Amino acid sequence: SGNMLWGGRFTGGLDPLMVHYNESIYFDKVLYKQDILGSIAFARANAKNGIISQAEFQKLEQGLLAVQKEWETGTFAIVPGVDEDIHTANERRLGEIIGKDVAGKLHTGRSRNEQIATDMRLWLRDELHAIEEHLRAFLRVIAARAEQEIDVIMPGYTHLQRAQPIRWSHWMLSYGFAFASDLERLGEVIKRVNRSALGCGALAGNPFGIDRDMMAAELGFDGLLWNSMGGVADRDFVAETLQWGSMLMQHISRWAEDLIIYSTGEFGFVRLADAYSTGSSLMPQKKNPDSLELLRGKSGRAFGHMAGFMMTLKGLPSTYNKDLQESVEPMLDHVKTVGDSIQIANGVLATLAIQPDKMQASLDPFMLATDLADYLVRKGVPFRETHHISGRCVALSEQTGTPMNELSYAQLKAIDARFDKDIADVFDYEKSVEMRSAKGGTSKSSVLEQIKVLKAMIG
């Protein structure tokens, strides 16, 4: 009866579904080059110690480079069911090219546990450096636009309600500093990604006295992972990358959300370039901000990888467990999502048309109610009192249907005798903006200073 239940699924070896379930070749093949570089460094170090001969090393190196060439030219043929992962596949092919006698010596003292950690770290380091450059390019566009469009004034919002006038540049820079912090954080992450696991063995270390420093230097690592058990088990570098990317995508998502709102007919502050919009298959008039919506949507996916992988890690016993193979796919997808998203955000901003007239027209005299209160503060009235007085002006304006800046001098004077003729000067949006000249404010000088600080952060 055992046969009736199970027989059909067993072919003498592993359950075919288990073969598929276990294999990682179809995604970890992207690490082919890192795997080969790591193997060459490992073989060189073993040759230095006399574990293999110089002639054997040369044969291994040539063979490994031949395997690399096959990957690069798309001629590497994966053997289904045999090539479990990139390490197995490369070694199998190496044996076919240079013969098993020498190929069989490559893995002396080595474990796939240290190999996968090495491959992932090398790959991720290079990808994160590329992302660093994308982020710098995006920040440079933010700084350049902030400089060029510094005279554009728009409504600033809290609770999505009109609050106070601000410079359009001030809005851009508010996100600019968030992205600049992401850039700083990325530098920290890269430091911990770029450490070498090579020479850690399966868990206990290398028994042939391999020169770990030599291998780390050859591969461009900044240092070693100092405990072999920790070295093979550590995927914090992946978790940290996912956490980093989640924060960045959170910023991108909020940035996109603002622009989606600003691009509606009701706001009309910005217009997306055709290159970053799509039409409707039904409604001919539609121009949809798909790029921004995808930026917002993909942030959920990035965040999900982070949360999911933290769940994978928690509760694992020490050193290598196969669960760790689940770190590869989230890393690959996350890095692609984040890298693409930064470039799309950059493209959107670089081609965005602003509508300063619409921004101007959306300013409302009520947005100067705080300035009205501040006016009396400058005459020595306590702010709590001036807040109340200004509130009464707002109420009068609402009751009479008169815009606040059109209330007569007599009407204002009746509310508070300390209003003078110069009260008319308060109702000026640009003046309001220019009053905010303390560091970090929206006045021209403050914004120019921000641009300077941001540029220094970009490096």
59 versus 87: smaller Cβ distance to ligand ARG:
87
Which DSSP category does 226 fall into?
S
170 versus 334: smaller Cβ distance to ligand ARG:
334
- Angle (nearest 5°) at CA 48 between 46 and 54: 85
CB of 249 within 8 A of CB of 298? yes
Coil, strand or helix at 7: helix
CB of 353 within 8 A of CB of 408? no
Q: According to the binding rule CB under 6 A, does residue 113 interact with ligand ARG?
A: yes
Q: How far is the CB of 92 from ligand ARG (least distance, A)?
A: 14
CB of 198 within 8 A of CB of 212? yes
Lookup result for tokens 């002396």: 108
Q: According to the binding rule CB under 6 A, does residue 112 interact with ligand ARG?
A: yes
Among 280, 318, 388, 445, the one annotated catalytic: 280
Q: According to the binding rule CB under 6 A, does residue 85 interact with ligand ARG?
A: yes
119 versus 182: smaller Cβ distance to ligand ARG:
119
Options 267, 320, 375, 429; binder of ligand ARG; rule CB under 6 A: 320
28 versus 127: smaller Cβ distance to ligand ARG:
28
Identify which of 263, 279, 244, 294 has the alpha carbon closest to the alpha carbon of residue 124.
Answer: 244
Letters for 272-301 (x = contact with ligand ARG by CB under 6 A, - = none) are ------------------------------
- Angle (nearest 5°) at CA 304 between 298 and 306: 115
The answer to whether residue 387 is catalytic is no
Q: Which two tokens stand for residue 263?
A: 């691009």
Q: According to the binding rule CB under 6 A, does residue 426 interact with ligand ARG?
A: no
Identify which of 399, 437, 396 has the alpha carbon closest to the alpha carbon of residue 413.
Answer: 396
Coil, strand or helix at 154: strand
Distance (Å, rounded) from C-alpha 137 to C-alpha 343? 9
Q: How far is the CB of 191 from ligand ARG (least distance, A)?
A: 23
CB of 362 within 8 A of CB of 161? no
Q: What is the DSSP code string of 45-79?
A: HHHHTTSS-HHHHHHHHHHHHHHHHHHHTT-----
The answer to whether residue 159 is catalytic is yes
67 versus 324: smaller Cβ distance to ligand ARG:
324
Distance (Å, rounded) from C-alpha 55 to C-alpha 162? 76
116 versus 173: smaller Cβ distance to ligand ARG:
116
Q: According to the binding rule CB under 6 A, does residue 51 interact with ligand ARG?
A: no
Options 51, 116, 153, 306; binder of ligand ARG; rule CB under 6 A: 116
Q: According to the binding rule CB under 6 A, does residue 332 interact with ligand ARG?
A: no
- Contacts of 300-306 with CB under 8 Å at 24 or more apart are 301/333, 301/337, 302/242, 302/245, 302/246, 302/249, 302/334, 302/337, 302/338, 302/341, 303/246, 303/249, 303/250, 305/242, 305/330, 305/333, 305/334, 306/239, 306/242, 306/243, 306/245, 306/246, 306/330, 306/334
Q: According to the binding rule CB under 6 A, does residue 324 interact with ligand ARG?
A: yes
Q: Which stretch binds ligand ARG (CB under 6 A): 2-10, 93-101, 108-116, 244-252?
A: 108-116
Q: How far is the CB of 265 from ligand ARG (least distance, A)?
A: 50
60 versus 324: smaller Cβ distance to ligand ARG:
324
Q: Which stretch binds ligand ARG (CB under 6 A): 52-60, 158-166, 317-325, 331-339?
A: 317-325
Show contacts with ligand ARG in window 6-35 (CB under 6 A): 24, 28
Q: How many residues bind ligand ARG (CB under 6 A)?
A: 11
Q: How far is the CB of 119 from ligand ARG (least distance, A)?
A: 9
Binding footprint of ligand ARG on the chain (CB under 6 A):
24, 28, 85, 112-113, 116, 320, 322, 324-325, 328
Mind telling me the catalytic residues?
A: 159, 280
